[in-house]
Amino acid sequence: MKSHAIKPPATEHLIFWSVALLLLSQMAWWISLQMRESRDLQAARIATMRAGRAEAWQMDSAELIRIAFQKDVGASRPGAIEGRMPVFPALAGRRAALEQRFPYVAVVPRPVEPDDPMLLDGSAYLTLRVKVLEAMERDRTLALWRAGGEAGLLVLVVLLGLSYIYRKLNNEMDLMLRQRNFIASVTHELKTPIASLRVWIETLFTRELAGETKARIQTLMDGDLRRLTDLVGNLLEVARADAGSLDLQPVPTELGPWLRATALGMEHRLGPGALGLDLQLGIDIFADIDPKAFGTVVENLLSNAHKYAAPPRSTLVTLDSDGESAILSVRDRGNGISPKELPRIFQRFYRVGDEMTRQVPGTGLGLFLSLEIVTLHRGTIRATSQGPGHGTTFTIRLPLSPR
């Protein structure tokens, strides 16, 4: 049986990754633009500060020149020129005046940058404050990180949204395919017993048959009717599960005797020895179950063990307890399940293969319904398999009931 995996079209992959690449390239371009513009802006601010530094030098020099060339009112003779050195204000006072008016300019004894101008009296140099430049660079870096983070978050949100939409669309495609397969499988499941019943009815009413032949035909017709009844019953149970109206009436039940009777009854329906049952059932294990609903679960598992294994079959049914839970397992030696299929087998309508070519009857509802019933019993069910050809084990855990 060939697995029919649902894969999205290559165009969807191409569109998704093209959009993702476009968004990432746009983010990279935007961040590089922000870096370039912030660098240009900072360069412009530094140029403005350098111009302010030159203005500070002019202000100080103008004051010194004014003092140097002021008229000496204390000369000994009118119009006389005496060679006195001008008395300039102290550097500390001039520094305070300069730094108060130009807070980004510092008066230092030695130049920090090659173009730092020297004061006119040669007592100090004017330079840009290092802390101001460092603060500007720090603010620029933080702004870039903030802008990059916002851009990255926006791209991430958009990609997550696209990924969510992509997954949803893919799931919808998957569900549509499984629904189509379900319709095909139900059609096959209904067509076969109905056609068989039509043949048997025509045979009974158009021919003279011996009593033994009539009894055999009656048995076959009962089997076809039971198959139709089980199919309709499963469909009704699934509809009730979807509507949340699956009404269970759990009662304390000793699982060993109940499980033995259910398994032997199923084997009798399938034919003596059809399952190759090996029952290893513990005693005094009680749980609260709805015998009819939980019987559907066990019958579904045994039916799968019969359908997906070639004769001679071997089906091991075990019942044990770990002190807190009852552990029921059904192990077959059939086709097995590949690891990638295991997480999906409990999904509604899911079946491996193509409904138009599959030889094993079924609707893909049995395990889905089993999961719903076990969950309503506050239990868990899981499947394990080592792969195709190695059989499958279904394990159910139910809380023990006090006795």
Summarised one tens digit per residue, pLDDT across range 183-196 is 666 666 677 788 88
Summarised one tens digit per residue, pLDDT across range 86-132 is 677 888 888 899 888 999 999 999 998 888 999 988 889 999 998 99
Whether residue 392 is contained in a domain is answered as yes
The residue among 65 and 358 whose pLDDT is bigger is: 65
Out of 146, 173, 189, a domain closes at 146
* Cβ-proximal residues to 361 (8 Å cutoff; 6+ apart), any chain: 185, 188, 189, 192, 307
Task: Estimate to the nearest angstrom the gap between the alpha carbon of 334 and the chain centroid.
Answer: 33
* 23 and 135 part of one domain: yes
Position 39 pLDDT exceeds 80: yes
What are the distances in angstroms from CA 30 to CA 41, 68, 137, 161?
A: 16, 57, 20, 21
At 254 the pLDDT is 94
- Going by pLDDT thresholds of 50, 70 and 90, the confidence category of residue 2 is very low
Whether residue 159 is contained in a domain is answered as no
Whether residue 122 is contained in a domain is answered as yes
* Cβ-proximal residues to 227 (8 Å cutoff; 6+ apart), any chain: 189, 193
Out of 112, 146, 180, a domain closes at 146
- What average pLDDT does the structure give for the chain? 82
At 311 the pLDDT is 87
Q: How far apart are CA 192 and CA 134, in angstroms?
A: 85
Contact 151, 27 (CB under 8 A): yes
Percent of the chain's residues with pLDDT above 70? 83
Whether residue 187 is contained in a domain is answered as no
- The string of DSSP codes covering 156-210 is HHHHHHHHHHHHHHHHHHHHHHHHHHHHHHHHHHHHHHHHHHHHHHHHHHHS---
* 139 and 253 part of one domain: no
The domain tally of the chain equals 2
What is the pLDDT averaged over residues 256-265? Answer: 94
How many other C-beta atoms can be found within 10 angstroms of the C-beta atom of residue 28? 13
At 5 the pLDDT is 40
* 140 and 256 part of one domain: no
* Cβ-proximal residues to 317 (8 Å cutoff; 6+ apart), any chain: 259, 263, 277, 278, 279, 280, 281, 302, 328, 329, 330, 331
Contact 126, 105 (CB under 8 A): yes
DSSP state of 4: -
* 264 and 377 part of one domain: yes
Out of 146, 168, 189, a domain closes at 146
| Domain of 253, in residue numbers | 248-399
Instruction: Say what the pTM is.
Output: 0.52
